[in-house]
Structure 1
Amino acid sequence: MLMYHGAFGDRLGRSFHLSDPPVLRSQTRRGARLAVTELRIDKAGYGMTSPMGNDDAYLVCLNLRKQSTHELWCDGRSVCSTSCESGTTYMLDLRRDPIMYIGDPLHSLYFYIPRQAIVEIGEELGKRNVSGLAIHPGECFRDSIVGSIGQTLLPIFNKAPAANQALIDHLLQGLCVYMVSTYSGSSTRSDIVRGALAPWQQKLVTQMMRERIFEGISINEMAEACGLSAGALARGFKKSIGMSPHQWLLSRRVDMALELMADPDISLADIAFNAGFSDQSHFSRVFTQKMGVAPGAWRKSLTNSKRAEAA
């Protein structure tokens, strides 16, 4: 089974079809992972990224080069189409399966901050109702603190990180504190959607579906694990996630297919089978509905991007 281990370093690089991008790592006092990855794409016309993984975490991006066309999709829907100047920042919620179109050469730093770290820092700051970062998907803004931390870390990528680990720890942990202090959102009773799943139920159900991504799992089985009726589980999941459990499972299978499509030697029929679809026709219908193009056209665009990069 394909597993995600945090959208930083090589895992994040694969989403941009880059091998072994430089990464600096740290962690909070309780062991939550923090990281920053430097990504460079020197030629224009790159195209679409692959999924970054459905992760309970955020990416805080610092643009070091202007992007005249910044397009972002979340949960399979277009949410942003604008330009981003050099020195601006935007944030991505990895629970929403972000995918981006990159038209210009790219140079950015991607800071990885898991929700676990946000809650931990919130408690240390006495803000015990912090549940995440309050963001507008894809909105570019200037933040001098994020910019200064990024510019301070940038030269360290080209030096021996081990010799600078104390500074890396200070800056990445400091950024996490700053993000919680400045951009955190609170979870109060008024924020809870009536009829939605509790956070533990949502986490349990999505984990059960991930573990049974190939063979599938019944609504009744998930409902029993959550102490709900099948109808209440289905309604609560849709209110919490914005789609039915079946649609969520199909989206995860599409994510797996996108990973597999990076290998030109695997046929679309084999990709459909290995991603858990009943056949290639079913795969094609679901893929086209989510991504807006057929699998063959997507793969052709990916191949052309790799050729242009190698030229």
Structure 2
Amino acid sequence: MRQNPETNRVHLYVPAPRVQSISLNGPGEHPITVTRLRSDLEDSGMTTPHLVEDAFMISIQLRDYRGDIFLRGRKLAFNRQAAGMVLMYDYQREWSAHLRSAFDCVNIHVPRSALDAVVNDRHSGTVESLRFEPGEPEPDQTILGVVQALIPALNAPNEPNQLFLDHMGWSLGAHVVNSYAEVVHVKPAGRGHLARWQERRAKELIDANLANEISLGTLAAECGLSTSHFARAFRLTTGVPPYQWLLGRRLEQAQTFLRDEDLSIAQIADLCGFSDQSHLTRVFTRATGEPPAAWRRRQGA
């Protein structure tokens, strides 16, 4: 019987009572799925069989964890993974785990096709394998930083803008390739700025989609660039990545609308692409130091 592909993407094989998932547009528009799994049980038992596929799993613990790992039926020396440490798994190899303590982890499903897209973006071949030792945790501050940045998105999946999710997917894919991938003939990508017409076109598209979502791939295609080249060039040109530029423009638009007393804050949130009034309030307060209602009153004083 054919297995459900979600088995691996959202880790249905892990006995976890609390699960939160979010999908990132990874390199080449190949989705990278980030899932947080939690259990307070001291022994959750064994995982069930995963789907054998051409993908990898990156697992980072948010609290100290104990357990056993079996690779093709053989028990590894692993017995503990400290908070903040990273393990990697290859879904082409059959492995399982006995979860012997409570756990709070973030597992990232990365298809090989997403990593190949990073390599091909640099005019090279494919990822042959990743360099890691099964069952041996190691520190990785970049992966930890990406996970920490995504925790709010996991808690409120409707709030982050699509450009932010695209940025996180590309950042993660590029880091895995740079740090772990065994590849052949990788060429460094160019580091130029956007041409004036490309900068103008990208900003026009962002402004036209403040109330909607637009992907990094769409912006790159409109500028005639690969996605990663566009992301680097946009940041060099403007000083911020595309998702931050979009957020800044949404806040500027919100300030313009706040001067119109006929619009409610909930209406402004909708017009500016925020998921709801509370989302606008949190982002606005973090950026300006005061909530939208207070800012509006001060402008009218």
Name the amino acid aligned to 2:63: R
Name the amino acid aligned to 1:25: S
Say if 2:78 is the partner of 1:81: yes
Which residue of structure 2 lines up, in the alignment, with residue 42 of structure 1?
40
Offset, 1:3 = 2.2
Aligned residue pairs, count:
184
In structure 1, how many angstroms separate the alpha carbons of the residues matched to 2:133 and 2:124? 22
Name the amino acid aligned to 2:29: G
Name the amino acid aligned to 2:33: A
In structure 2, how many angstroms separate the alpha carbons of the residues matched to 1:38 and 1:23? 6
Which one has the largest radius of gyration?
A: 2
> Could you tell me which of 14, 17, 24 is aligned with 2:15?
17
Q: Deviations over 1:135-157 (max 9, x none)?
A: 21121011110111111101211
Secondary structure of residue in 1 paired with 2:19: coil
Offset, 1:109 = 0.5
Q: 1:35 to 1:144 in 2, by over 3 A?
A: same
Which residue of structure 1 lines up, in the alignment, with residue 181 of structure 2?
184
> Could you tell me which of 150, 155, 164 is aligned with 1:153?
150
Which residue of structure 1 lines up, in the alignment, with residue 103 of structure 2?
106
Secondary structure of residue in 2 paired with 1:36: strand
Which residue of structure 2 lines up, in the alignment, with residue 140 of structure 1?
137
Which residue of structure 2 lines up, in the alignment, with residue 8 of structure 1?
9
In structure 1, how many angstroms separate the alpha carbons of the residues matched to 2:56 and 2:92? 8
For structure 1, the residue ranges without an aligned partner over 5 or more in a row are 189-311
Secondary structure of residue in 1 paired with 2:150: helix
Secondary structure of residue in 2 paired with 1:161: coil
> Could you tell me which of 114, 118, 129 is aligned with 1:117?
114
Secondary structure of residue in 2 paired with 1:53: coil
Offset, 1:20 = 7.4
> Could you tell me which of 49, 52, 76 is aligned with 2:50?
52
Offset, 1:42 = 1.2
Greater displacement, 89-98 / 124-133: 124-133
In structure 2, how many angstroms separate the alpha carbons of the residues matched to 1:117 and 1:160? 22
Contact 1:91 1:135 in 2 (8 A): yes
Contact 1:89 1:142 in 2 (8 A): yes
Contact 2:64 2:82 in 1 (8 A): yes
For structure 2, the residue ranges without an aligned partner over 5 or more in a row are 186-301
Which residue of structure 2 lines up, in the alignment, with residue 32 of structure 1?
30
Percent identity, aligned pairs only, is 22
Question: Cα RMSD between the aligned structures?
Answer: 2.1
Q: 1:20 to 1:99 in 2, by over 3 A?
A: same
